[in-house]
Structure formats: C-alpha cells, structure tokens
Amino acid sequence: MAKHQFQTEVGQLLHLMTHSLYSNKEIFIRELVSNASDAIDKLNYLKLTDENIKAALPGDWAGQINISFDEADKSLTISDNGIGMNEEDLIASIGTIAKSGTKSFIDNLTGDAKKDSNLIGQFGVGFYSVFMVANKVDVISKKAGEEQAYKWSSDGTGEFDLAPCTKESNGTVIYIKLKDEEAEEFASKYRIQNIVGKYSNHIAYPIYLNYSEEVTEELSEEDKKAGKEAKKTVEKRHEKINEATALWTQPKAKLKKEEYNDFYKSISHDSQDPMLTIHTKAEGVNEYTTLFYIPKTAPMDMYRADYQPGVKLYVKRVFITDDEKELLPTYLRFVRGIIDSEDLPLNVSREILQENRILANIKQSSVKKILSEIKKLSKDEEKYAEFIAQYIRPLKEGVYQDFTNKEAILDLLRYKSTKTEDGKMTSLAAYKEGANSEQKAIYYIIGENEKVLRNSPLLEAYKKNDIEVLILDDKEIDEIITPNIGAYKEWEFKDITACEAPKVEQSEDEKKEVEEKFKSIVEKIKDKLGESVTDVRVTNRLSDSPSCVVKDVGDAQMAQMMQMMRA
C-alpha cells in the first residue's frame, strides 16, 4: 500500500470541511450522488463513441446509483456503475488540486458557514464535503475498459492510502464510516429518502436505497389463541427513491413550480430558488428542448476567466458535455440549465460542436428567448431591480459582444441619472421619452463615485436646460462600453466631459461683451497655469460654479483630479 500526501490546499480544505462548515452537512449526499450521475453520464457518452468501451460493457448495461446504510456499522455506501477511476484519476481528482476549484474555493470563503457550504458545489470541490460527516472514507473504483481496480482511503487528515484491490465491474463504491455523532442522523432510511428527494429527485438515473428491515410475522387469530410466537425475519429491501425522469422532457403543463425549483437546485448547487425559469420546446426545422434558469444570486465565479459554464448539452436525453462555453454567449454565462437536441448526431464529438450549424441555431434562438423573458421580468420594477443588481455588468458586456441583439440588450439596461434618486434607475426608452423636443442625443458622465459625479459642475448647464444626464459610476466597464455603443434608436451617446454643452440663449454681441469683460482675468489664469492646460476660455456651460476643467484630447483622469482639487 502506498501512502500519499494531500496537496497543501486539499489539506487546508479538508481541515475547513471538518472544522468549520457545519451548517449544511446533508449536502454531502447531493454531491456524491451528483458525482455518480456525472460518472454514468460520461460512460453513456463513451459507450456511443468508443467501440472498445461498448464491447467491455454488458449488453444490457444501464446506469444506476445505489445507496445503502448500516446502523450497526454506522456507515453509508454510495455506488455507481459509471466510468470509474484508475490510479492516476484517483490521485488527480481526489488528492491534488489539478482543478483550479480548490484554491479559488478557499479564496472565496466568507466565514459564514451557510454561505460557504453553498460554495462547495459551485467550486467543484464536492467530493471533500463527505468529510463533514465521515471518520474515514474508502473509494473503491474500477475504470471502464481496464482490468485493475484501486482502493483509496483517507481519514481526511494529511494523507491518503492507495492500493490495488479487486472489484468485479466498472464503477465506484464510496464507503463512508460516519462520525459517531452523525451516525444516527444519516444511517437512516427516512433521512436519506428525504435528502435524495430534496436534491436529487430528477437525476436522470434511478437511485435505489438498499437496507435490511426486521419484519414480524402476521399471526392468524387461531395461532394467537394457540399462543404461537410471531416469527421475526430480516428482509432485504431495494427501493427506488427518486423520480429518475429527465424533468425537461415532461410537458410544461404537468410540471409544478416546486419541481422546476428542485431540479434547478440539483443541477446548480444553489440552495435558493431561481429568479427565472424558462422552459421551451421547439418543433419544426430543429427539434430541441431547453430549460434555462437565472439564479437569484450571480454565480461566484462569474468574473473569473476560468468560470464553469452552467449549461449542459444533451442529445436525445444522453449527456454530451457540461464544459462547453460556447453553448451560450459569454455575457449570458450566469444562465444555468440544459439544452437537449433531437437532431444532433449522438456521437457528435465535442471538438466539432463549435462549428455545428444546428447548435448555432439553438444558441441563437435561446439567446432571443432568454432576452425576451428578461424583458418580461422588467415589467415588474421591484423584481427587475434585483435582476439589475446582480446582472447589469454582464448585460453591458452583451452590448458589444452581441451585435445582433444589441438593441434588445440596450432596452434591458438601467442607468442612474440626474433625474433619478434613491437608488432608482431609468431605461433608455424612458430617457428618450422624457427628453424635450430639441434634444437628439443621450448625455452621460462616467466616473468611479456617484456622489462626485452628481456634484460635477459640468452638469449645471444640463440641469438649467432640463436635460437628463446618465450617471455611470461603474467606471471600469462603462468606460469601455459606453463610448462604443454609438446610438440608441438614432440618438448618439455623448460624454458631457467631451462634447459641447447645450446652448444657453446668448447673442453674439452678448458673447463678445462677456469675453471682453473677462479678458484680463483669463490672461492671468493662462499665465499662471502655463503649460498644464491647452486653453482657458470664457464659457456659458456653467451657471452656478465659477469654473471647470474640460477634456481636450480625452484626459478624463486629469479633469477629474482638477475637479477634486477644486471641490
């Protein structure tokens, strides 16, 4: 037997699992079942694409998951007949941080046990959650198409053992020796049924619960009279405890909100209900089903380059991949769900997916559908404010990523402005609607701080003329996106730090007169500022402030600095 040291981060993670994340221990079952289901998904796919694997499996092979428990032994076992793991897989998957997940999970911990246990699934560190309840774990696994099985064992401290062993068929058995204080709760028929029902009801494969039950023989009246003792026997049970239907294949009318929500939780590792559910069946040229969800809270990895895509691809109910970032455009990376196509070939290789015409069509219609459902949501101001709070940034990305749907996305954006208050926001449509008849552009100002922006002297002339100015205080993204929007329904976007201010009525003579009057002071200022400015001018831009700095060739930062010094 070989002893292996866990990589440092895994050690750290295990320590956290066993010592800090106490609040939601039951999710370890969800995580192990979801791994079992993934393992069967993978084998299902290989069976279709790899002749050798197909030959190695029994003709009637069908994926299934088994859970058993033993009260006396204080143990729980979860097994599957999926792809299995060989020696290298075991080391790479559950011994090291080959995946980026472990480290970013640790980096993202908040210290709030409830929130943190929610992160477990999101960062792909689900397996280790078993150590919240286990004293010791054995993973016995045999990879499909290979001869040798291996046993991985660990008590969740610094190291794990790995040794060859025997196992008849492919798949994985996870034997969990429960901690004394957890045994009563989890080595229990009702508790397991309840957890599986809650998180894994619509896993596509059957989950069986196996246990032994003592039954007492029913005696007839005669036997009772005769004083006969009832015999006690132990019977073995093997009961299916989930629906095992691919939820999305069922007709919309039959499905309850609760079932949709449960399914969402089982695929998203989220414990909240989703914000939006979008179930579509398309018939005609392309036949497919999509079931999309928008999470209430934006996924934790939304701003990481190595984010995990949230949409899984199926072909005729067979899982193909959950690692394809092109199924939806990047700006919709917060969407969770499935796409199930009837037309793609079952043995479609993951490599050619990106160029596939059918998939491109599905993608296009899906985007339109999702955007139109968001639009519907926007009719409810309160709910929409929650959506905007989570997803305004990716939507803004969409404006420049998705040329086809630019107009639709612009309609979904919301902005603070000189005419909104108390955290309220306006739409571009409302902006246009509220503008006076002479206005022909959308004015905006960009900066880091809403308060500073609202106090900008540049706004004065606009206020005097009753022109609304958008306050864009998400500088990092606004600065990239807004100047590139071009126009919204023929109205140009104009940065007020770089454009002519609206004219305040003034004749040429008046202008001359004012310029004359201020000539000497302008000269003095010019003299003092010297090289640091290009020009000093009398302006009618301002009405209350004596002066302001404006951009010449686009040095907004300088302008801001000067303004702060002035303030």
Tokens coding 140: 């016995």
Query: How far apart are alpha carbons 197 and 189 in whole angstroms?
Result: 12
Cα–Cα dist 391/405, whole Å: 17
Q: Which of 26, 30, 31, 397 binds ligand ADP (CB under 6 A)?
A: 31
Complex with ligand ADP: residue 103 or 393, whichever CB lies closer? 103
SS3 content of the chain, % helix, strand, coil (to 5): 45, 20, 35
98 or 429: CB nearest ligand ADP: 98
Q: Which is nearer to Mg ion, 130 or 367 (CB)?
A: 130
Residue 153's beta-bridge partner residues? Answer: 138, 161
Q: Among 17, 36, 137, 358, which residue sits at the site for ligand ADP (rule: CB under 6 A)?
A: 36
For the segment 35-74, give every residue that binds Mg ion (CB under 5 A). 35
Q: Can residue 82 be called a binding residue for Mg ion (CB under 5 A)?
A: no
Which phi-psi region, left, alpha or beta, contains residue 74 (left: φ > 0; alpha: ψ -120 to 50)?
left
CB-CB contact of 298 with 108 (8 Å): no
Nearer CB in complex with Mg ion: 124/483: 124
- Is 126 near Mg ion (CB under 5 A)? yes
- 35 is annotated as contributing to ligand binding: yes
Structure tokens at 270: 């989220």
The verdict on 398 binding ligand ADP (CB under 6 A) reads: no
Work out what residue 138 binds among ligand ADP, Mg ion, none; the CB cut-off runs from 5 to 8 Å by kind.
none
| Residue from 6, 28, 69, 127 binding ligand ADP (CB under 6 A) | 127
- Would you tell me how many other CB atoms lie within 10 Å of the CB of residue 67? 24
Could you tell me if 496 and 469 are in contact, meaning their C-beta atoms sit under 8 angstroms apart?
yes
Q: Give whichever of 120 and 178 is closer to Mg ion, judged by the CB atom.
A: 120
Confirm whether residue 172 is marked as ligand binding: yes
**Strands 318-321 and 276-282, bridge-based pairing:** unpaired
The binder of ligand ADP chosen from 11, 124, 158, 483 (CB under 6 A): 124
Task: Identify residue 70 by its one-letter amino acid code.
Answer: D
* Least gap, CB of 124 to Mg ion (angstroms): 6
Q: Which residues of 257-267 are buried (b: 16+ CB within 10 A; e: fewer)?
A: eeebebbbbbb
Number of residues that bind Mg ion (CB under 5 A): 2
138 scored as a contact of ligand ADP (CB under 6 A): no
* Minimum gap (Å) between residue 84 Cβ and ligand ADP: 6
H helices of 355-380, in order, are 357-377
Each residue 2-41 as x (binds Mg ion by CB under 5 A) or -, in order, gives ---------------------------------x------
Per the structure block, which two tokens stand in for 340?
């199930």
Handedness of CA 335, 340, 344, 346 (dihedral sign): positive
Residue identified by tokens 């068929």 is 169
3-state secondary structure of 411: helix
93 interacts with, out of ligand ADP, Mg ion, none, CB within 5 to 8 A per kind: ligand ADP
Q: 82 or 309, CB closer to ligand ADP? A: 82
275 assigned to a ligand binding site: no
Query: Between vectors from CA 16 to CA 34 and to CA 68, what angle results, nearest 5°?
Result: 35
Q: Which helix (H) or strand (E) holds 523?
A: helix 508-529
Site for ligand ADP in 65-94 (CB under 6 A): 80, 82-85, 93-94
| Closer by beta carbon to ligand ADP, 34 or else 277 | 34
Residue 498 to residue 500: CA distance in whole angstroms: 7
Instruction: Say which DSSP state 426 is in.
Output: B
| Single residue of 24, 35, 426, 456 touching ligand ADP by CB under 6 A | 35
Cβ proximity to Mg ion, 267 vs 470, nearer residue: 267
Q: Does 170 bind ligand ADP (CB under 6 A)?
A: no
Q: How far is the CB of 130 from ligand ADP (least distance, A)?
A: 9
Residue 122 contacts ligand ADP per CB under 6 A: no
Q: Is 356 annotated as a binding residue?
A: no
**Sign of the Cα pseudo-torsion (31, 37, 41, 44, in order):** positive
**At which residue do the structure tokens 């040229």 appear?**
285
Which range, of 124-132, 149-157, 222-230, 424-432, touches Mg ion by CB under 5 A? 124-132
Q: Which of residues 37-66 bind ligand ADP (CB under 6 A)?
A: 38-39
Q: Is 310 annotated as a binding residue?
A: no
**What is the Cα gyration radius of the chain?**
32
Binding site for ligand ADP (CB under 6 A): 31, 35-36, 38-39, 80, 82-85, 93-94, 124-127, 172
Binding site for Mg ion (CB under 5 A): 35, 126
Q: Where is the binding site for ATP, in residues? A: 31, 35, 80, 85, 99-101, 122-127, 172, 350
